[in-house]
Structure 1
Amino acid sequence: MADPNPNIPPQSPPPPHEPERKTASPLIWILLLLALLAFGWLIYSQRSGVTTAPETLPPPAADIGDGQDAAAERERAADDARRAAREADARARAETPAPVAGADREATPLTRVEPEYPVEAYRKREEGTVLVGASIDAAGKPLDVQVVRRSGSRELDQAALDAVRQWTFEPAVRDGQAIASDVQVPVTFRIDR
């Protein structure tokens, strides 16, 4: 048969059935984005967690005395100043003062060596007061130095003993004569905050 309308081109057969193109659902894209963010956060946190070791600061100086009685500390400082003035005056006159009968006094520290804060105790943030007892001879030197009351830290106790062994004392006086005596000295270790 002939085509009824010669101007119309013959129809081509329909194309073979093409499979539909599948696109990724938005849910998959969101999950992929979250996984990338989590990975980025993990990398960032690991990098920020790696730091150089902090600079170690030297331990603070230990306080000598109990630090609670400021008036007593000022009085001791005033006594030290008066004693230094008397010694300077005596040297200037080139006389040795004669001991006064009946001027009794206890042994007092002349020179104090500051204890070194033990590094291990500083790292552990240990603080405390050590009560140190010492037998002072007639020349003012400590002979037998021992802990009377512990601080709770073996390192602090040892540092206090080592420091007090290096001190010099003005010896005790009885009836105008220097004598041996016993003293107790508190040594406080405190980390300044």
Structure 2
Amino acid sequence: MSTPNPNDPGYNRVDPDAPVVAPPRNSSALLWLLVLVALIALGLWWYGKRQATEAVDTSATTQQPALVGETTPPPAVVAEKKPVAKKPEAKPKPVAKLTRDPSPLAGNQAPKYPPQALRSGVEGSVSVRVEVDAAGNPTDVTVVERSGERSRDLDRAVTDAVRKWRFEPAMKDGKAVAGAVVVPVEFKSQ
């Protein structure tokens, strides 16, 4: 058998029956970086745990200084463990736990009197219940009470306007939470 010649016309031909060998895979640099970070974190944890254990051992045993001219070191003397007097922890002052219902912000635009209801002389009030999320956005608006003439135009005007409003969210123990508020709106022609 002779050495392959690159000038031979069949030199680059691939044998279809030849086994396919995958090239060796290089490990990802990111994987190695993660392994390194994990090892460092493990080492720091172990070192901190070891330091805490040594601190307890050091406080439990004391050694006497060696005397000049003494040939054998004195045995270690185990000190009696005394309870450590801890300073009383300063208790946090009680904070007034703020609890309130959601309330509409002052800059909200009032519902507009529907022109058809105004021409017809329809008057009344509509109260809607507004579910408000912890961010102050209305999530659900439903009509809960009407007085005067029943008008779908008035109901729709109130619900459409209130859906665009922003609210100060409800507070429970000083944290913003979801809540509900009833908003009354009165329509009177003048």
TM range (shorter): 0.3 to 0.5
TM-score, length basis structure 2: 0.47
Specify which structure has the higher proportion of helix.
1
| CA radius of gyration, larger in | 1
TM-score, length basis structure 1: 0.46
Higher RCO, Cα 8 Å, sep 6+: 1
